[in-house]
Structures are given as structure tokens and as C-alpha cells.
Amino acid sequence: MTLTRRSLLERAGALSLPTLLPAASIALPLALATGRASAQSAEFTYKFANNLPVTHPLNVRAKDMSAAILAETKGRVDIQVFPNNQLGSDTDMLSQVRSGGVEFFTLSGLILSTLVPAASISGIGFAFGDYDTVWKALDGPLGAHVRAQIGKANLVVMDNIWDNGFRQITSSSKPIVSPDDLKGFKIRVPVSPLWTSMFKAFDSSPASINFNEVYSALQTKVVEGQENPLALISTAKLYEVQKYCSLTNHMWDGFWFLANKKAWEKLPADVRTIVAKHINAAALLERADTAALNASVQKDLAAKGLIFNQPKTDEFRDRLRKAGFYTEWKGKYGDEAWALLEKASGKLA
């Protein structure tokens, strides 16, 4: 039983290691193979942990980024990438980046909102219709507002947010065609008050589950469905345990690149400049890769058996409005932050 579950999870790249294991004891054998001499000799050997499969554009670009940083710092900074929740769930990794157990971590603003409430604002349902609007807001005043709040929580955040994408709803039980199909629907959501609130507004039964447990939760039918961008439904092989995919585009999601403050400040100023430059440049490349993958992978997923439908997304947005979702969250973020959002999104509440 244990072995079967374990092997299935490993296949999905969803294996979570016991979180009680000290990170250091599992760090070396699991480090993403970088194809270069690991820098025993580096002055600063830092860990970058994340929740995504090794084949996701974020990890592909992170690997190149790490090599570029090692080269330009002349071997002084070695950033070892730990993909796929190898160092724990998002909840664990958030603790670790705060304590210094890992030096770098990418996290959805919505999950970060458990620490920095303002950070979930970019995930408000149907706020952004396209990527141009997303980047204008997140590279502009809305992003600056969120980054300032993250800074107040004693974390360092890089300027450019990385892309996860526009999220779609998958299901093993039935296609989601109209908002009524979400009534009572058992759906996994990431650990975040905004996500839970949004699906409660649809009268669903949302369950907060970290990403490292999603494949098995779907497989064992603890939940009927989940929602994620196509790039992740593909790279995390969620199509193996889901039948339907509804192109709701109900929200955009991205990852802030966080650093432990002490570890960051330990780097000499000129080294920090080099490291930040490469991280931010990699973010822009990753955005392009992820958008391209999200746009192109549907055919491949359909060939693997996922059945797609295109619902009328306005109906879903109207349902949120009627449920008072936008008014409630406007109240939580405050008028000033909400105005920054609506400047990009147009009127929501």
C-alpha cells in the first residue's frame, strides 16, 4: 500500500519528504543536477526551493540563472535549485525562507498572503483579461505596493514576479460548464484565504491542500477537482488523474522570488546586484516560456484524454459579484490598494 502510493506519487513528481527531516540532511543528493562542478569552493552556497516540477519553465530558467550567477560572480555564489517540493510543502518552505533554512523561495502571492495579507490582491477573480494587463500592474504600482508590504514582513523580494499563469478548473467527476456546476463541488485550493473565499462564493466545498499533496488527493478522490494553469496540469501530470478541463481563466497567478533577509544582506553589495540582475532577467524569460506553454499545450493534453470545454466566463464573474466577493475583498485590502488594482483591471466591485 505504502509502496504503491509512494511510487505513484514519485511518478507524479509529487512526493513529499517528511518535513521533520532537517533540510541539510537531504539537500545534497536532491539538488537539481546543474551539469557543472558543485561549488564546494563557493563563498556563498545558497538553496532556492520551489514547488514546481523540474520540467516547468520556472525550473528550466532557474537552472540557467544559477549557472549565469556562478559564472559572473566568478564562482563566489552557487545557487542550488531544489524543485518539486523536495524541501517540503509551500507552508514548510515559507517557514524555512523566514528562518534561513533556505535562502531563496518562489511563492504565489496568494499563499504568501498568510503572512502578508496584501499579497493576494493580484489573484482576485477575473481581474486580468490578458498578460499585458498583468505585467503592467505587477511591474507597476500594484506590484510596488505588494513588494513594499512583503519588505515590511522582513523578507526580501525581487522586482519581477514569475509567471504561473491563468488558472483553469479540472475535474474527475463532471465538466464545469456553468457556475451552478461548482455548487457543492469538492475542489482543492492552495492554502490561502482568498482561494477559499472565492470558491465559497461559488458555493463549492474548497479544501486547502498544499501542492505536494494534490496528485494523490485527486487520485484517491479526496477531492473531485483542482484549478491550475495548463502548463502545470501538463508538467505535474495532473491529467492522469483528471478527466475534464474547463477553460475558466478565473484568475491569474504568479510567484514572488523571495530571499531570506540575513542571507541576502550577507552578500556584498556588488554581488547582490549581479544576483538580482540574473534573477530578474530569468523571470522575464520564464514569463515568455510559460505563456507560450500555456497557449500551446492544450492540444497535447487533449491527446492525452483531457476533455476541454469553454464556459462563458462572464457568468462566473457575475456570480462572484452577486455573492459580494468583490465588495468583501475591497474592504479587506482597503480603498487605496483596491484603486491600484482597478486602475489595471477596470471596475470590479
Q: Does 211 bind ligand X2X (CB under 6 A)?
A: yes
Q: What is the CA radius of gyration of the chain?
A: 20
**How far apart (Å, rounded) are the C-alpha atoms in residues 80 and 45?**
7
CB of 265 to ligand X2X, least distance (A): 27
Q: How far is the CB of 232 from ligand X2X (least distance, A)?
A: 6
C-alpha atoms less than 13 angstroms from C-alpha of 329 in its C-beta half-sphere: 31
Q: In terms of CB distance, is 42 or 110 closer to ligand X2X?
A: 110
Binding mask 162-191 for ligand X2X (x = CB under 6 A): --x-------------------------x-
For ligand X2X, which is the closer residue by CB, 101 or 190? 190
Q: Tell me which of 108, 120, 171, 242 binds ligand X2X, using CB under 6 A.
A: 108
The answer to whether the CB of 272 falls within 8 A of the CB of 110 is: no
Chain centroid to CA 191: 11
On whether the CB atoms of residues 245 and 305 are closer than 8 A, the answer is no
DSSP letters of 256-311? EEEEEHHHHHHS-HHHHHHHHHHHHHHHHHHHHHHHHHHHHTHHHHHHTTPEEE--
- Among 39, 42, 51, 185, the residue binding ligand X2X under the rule CB under 6 A is 51
Find out whether 256 and 54 touch, Cβ atoms under 8 Å. Answer: no
According to the binding rule CB under 6 A, does residue 113 interact with ligand X2X?
no
253 interacts with ligand X2X by CB under 6 A: yes
Give the closest residue to 54 by CA, choosing from 4, 12, 110: 12
Residue 228 sits in the site that holds ligand X2X (CB under 6 A): yes
Q: Which three cell numbers stand for residue 107?
A: 511563492
Is 110 or 137 the residue whose CB approaches ligand X2X more closely?
110
Q: Give the count of residues interacting with ligand X2X (CB under 6 A).
A: 9
101 binds ligand X2X (CB under 6 A): no
Cβ distance to ligand X2X smaller for residue 65 or 169: 169
- Asked whether position 92 contacts ligand X2X by CB under 6 A, the answer is no
Q: Of the two residues 13 and 73, which places its CB atom closer to ligand X2X in the complex?
A: 13
Question: Using an 8 Å Cβ cutoff, are 252 and 123 in contact?
Answer: yes
Any contact of residue 244 with ligand X2X (CB under 6 A)? no
**Site residues (CB under 6 A) for ligand X2X?**
51, 108, 111, 164, 190, 211, 228, 232, 253
